Amino acid sequence: MNEPSNGPAGPAGLVVGVDSGGSGLRIALADAATGAVLDARASREPVRTGPGGISAAHFLEQVLPAVRALAEPFGGRPVLAAAVGAAGMATLGDELRAGLPGALAEAWGVRRLALAADAVTAYAGALGQRPGAVVAGGTGMIALGTDLAAWRRADGWGHLLGDCGSGAWIGRAGLEAAMRAHDGRRGGSAALLARAEKLFGPVAGLPAALYPRTDRPAVLASFAPEVGHCAPEDPVAADILARAGAHIAEAAGAACPAGPGAVVALTGGLFRMGDPLLVPLRAALGELLPHARTVEPAGDPLAGAVALASALATGTLRLPEDPALLRLFGEGAS
Amino acid sequence: MNEPSNGPAGPAGLVVGVDSGGSGLRIALADAATGAVLDARASREPVRTGPGGISAAHFLEQVLPAVRALAEPFGGRPVLAAAVGAAGMATLGDELRAGLPGALAEAWGVRRLALAADAVTAYAGALGQRPGAVVAGGTGMIALGTDLAAWRRADGWGHLLGDCGSGAWIGRAGLEAAMRAHDGRRGGSAALLARAEKLFGPVAGLPAALYPRTDRPAVLASFAPEVGHCAPEDPVAADILARAGAHIAEAAGAACPAGPGAVVALTGGLFRMGDPLLVPLRAALGELLPHARTVEPAGDPLAGAVALASALATGTLRLPEDPALLRLFGEGAS
């Protein structure tokens, strides 16, 4: 076990990990040296986004009282480091980067802080500090890999420019196949048309229902499970998932380091679709990444934030800094 | 030449054709019996859309003075019929259907009126009253066909549910190939990446530039010509256009009547892309519609509106009525 390099000689230090996303905020308090989680809290209120990006004030409003309450039973132990993973950190993190280092130093005396894209905390949670690639799949899809010298990102460009193989991609392709069946065009699926009409009503009304919405990717993704249900019997649905599997493997292939010993993990709700997606995906991974072993993710993004904070506190961080993906603040930051 | 079945024995009657779309309004005055256009006017002000759909008041504000001015030199000749083709007529035409028949009867004494979807006036302009199919391609893509008993529509479902092969579809596929090249994913095109960066700047900024816009399909379609430019040298771009050609032919195939003698026409700005799209499209049409002859469109949607009005006036309308596509009002209306 590493002794915290900057730790006081007194009681063992603590670290804080935070995972902030569209469905809310999760906060964990852990032992700095072991990374073992001591206690955790969740809030279902997502941090607001304002003109300056993700609101630092709203973030602190939720996190400071929660950490105070979590740390209370461990009164004498100092918070040595914190790591925050947030969806949109790269593009919407300006306010967090400006406000958090000072605010957390003042509140907890924390001297080391990591601000990470949610894909980085997903990586650290799933694979720890090993070289490899993590695919995070849900409504969207992004692959992030590292050889521990630099990060490589693939896809994650949203439902019009990419997210190939994501929930939105699969659902969109399924609805297109439904419309094709409705029109009598080639490539249609009567099974998907029946599912679409059951879910959304007559499909001629779908454009008017879909296009005015602001959550179009989520609406499209809501149809992805129907494609999964149809795939065992319906060749059009099966083909959609085969193509999705190939696209996901292509992203993993671009993100994963080439050397031997790389590991790949699949995380996120997309992969709960099971065999209809996983069978063709595994085949595509075997073809494109024969040198990489696919492993179960060890933990979730909150576990990844805790692992980052613990590595910071113990001076053992191996994951590379990156201006968009992983920024370090305080002692030892470059 | 047919004598207008309901015409007065006096001077030869007139008809009015109107084409209303996103880029404005065009109005033609024609001889009822021959359909020959006597004079025409254009307004660059698109008819407003309000809570009741396309605004009947704003439509009449523009059309009534224009027709008065057009008809002035032909003072003694009565307006026997009018036809209005409008984009969005099916879903946004309630106010027009409620207000126009009475207003035009009062203003011109017109006794026969046709309200048509713009796809119907495009059909009548391109093919007249022959059985066949017309593909209208631009930012979107729709195929409309008829055997003169009923209409068959294929695609036209918008950029997320279909419009397969449209300008938005081609541009989106081209940008996806650019992002693939940026990531090092399979299926990327360095040529399309270079074009995208020239047009939009560094592609990592594309999501932030594209997604907040309300005219996303038009932004996507703005990249379609770049795919056309790259296709002669770039296999990825050529493959995108080959797939677009197949999709367009699939829509034409679903809309076109099966019998011999059917004709197919391609209309709209999409087909100005020329050979890179037209060569694979013609090949796909030959495969899917071997019985149909592809012809040049005879005229545009304004000519189609005039043709409809003339057919109404002379009692020679053969194109089928349809609640969403072609509604007739006044004498002889069903």
Q: Are residues B318 and B173 in the same domain?
A: no
HEC string of chain A equals CCCCCCCCCCCCCEEEEEEEECCEEEEEEEECCCCCEEEEEEECCCCCEECCEECHHHHHHHHHHHHHHHHHHHCCCCEEEEEEEECCHHHHCHHHHHHHHHHHHHHHCCCEEEEEEHHHHHHHHHHCCCCEEEEEECCCEEEEEECCCCEEEEECCCCCCCCCCCHHHHHHHHHHHHHHHHHCCCCCCHHHHHHHHHHHCCHHHHHHHHCCCCCHHHHHHCCHHHHHHHCCCCHHHHHHHHHHHHHHHHHHHHHCCCCCCCEEEEECHHHHHCHHHHHHHHHHHHHHCCCCEEECCCCCHHHHHHHHHHHHHCCCCCCCCECCCEEEEECCCC
Q: Is residue A276 part of a domain?
A: yes
Q: Is residue B6 part of a domain?
A: no
Q: Is residue B205 part of a domain?
A: yes
**The pLDDT of residue A113 is above 90:** yes
Q: Are residues A96 and A146 in the same domain?
A: no
Split into its structural domains, chain B has a count of 2
Q: Is residue B206 part of a domain?
A: yes
Residue B284 with chain A: CB contacts under 8 Å: none
Nearest CB to B216 within list A91, A160, A175: A160
Residue A91 touches partner B, C-beta closer than 8 Å: yes
Q: Is residue B265 part of a domain?
A: yes
Q: Is residue A1 part of a domain?
A: no
User: CA A143, CA A45: separation in Å to the nearest integer?
Assistant: 27
Q: Are residues A138 and A259 in the same domain?
A: yes
Q: Are residues A138 and A286 in the same domain?
A: yes
Q: Are residues B118 and B176 in the same domain?
A: no
Q: Are residues A160 and A282 in the same domain?
A: yes
Residue B243 touches partner A, C-beta closer than 8 Å: no
Q: Are residues B307 and B288 in the same domain?
A: no
**The pLDDT of residue A74 is above 50:** yes
Q: Are residues A180 and A67 in the same domain?
A: no
Task: State percent of chain A over pLDDT 70.
Answer: 96
Torsion of CA A302, A305, A309, A310, to 10 degrees: 60
CB contact under 8 A, B186 and A253: yes
Torsion of CA A50, A51, A54, A59, to 10 degrees: -50
Residue B194, domain CATH: 3.30.420.40
Q: Are residues B178 and B277 in the same domain?
A: yes
pLDDT tens-digit profile of B270-319?
Answer: 999 999 999 999 999 999 999 999 999 999 999 999 999 999 999 999 99
- Confidence label for A92 from pLDDT (cuts 50, 70 and 90): confident
Residue A164 with chain B: CB contacts under 8 Å: 176
Q: Is residue B72 part of a domain?
A: yes
Q: Are residues B282 and B314 in the same domain?
A: no
The SS3 call for residue B192 is helix
B 208-237 residues with CB below 8 A of A? Answer: 208, 210-211, 216, 220
* In the block, residue with structure tokens 């035409």: B93
pLDDT tens-digit profile of A276-293?
Answer: 999 999 999 999 999 999
At B48, give phi and psi (nearest 5°): -65, 150
Q: Are residues A146 and A289 in the same domain?
A: yes
Residue A57 touches partner B, C-beta closer than 8 Å: no
Q: Are residues A163 and A65 in the same domain?
A: no
pLDDT tens-digit profile of B16-74?
Answer: 999 998 778 999 999 999 999 999 999 888 898 888 789 999 999 999 999 999 999 99
CB contact under 8 A, A251 and B183: yes
Q: Is residue A259 part of a domain?
A: yes
CB contact under 8 A, B154 and A185: yes
| Residue B64: domain span | 14-127+299-330
* B248 neighbors B136 (Cβ within 8 angstroms): no
pLDDT tens-digit profile of A176-234?
Answer: 999 999 999 999 999 999 999 999 999 999 998 898 888 999 999 999 999 999 999 99
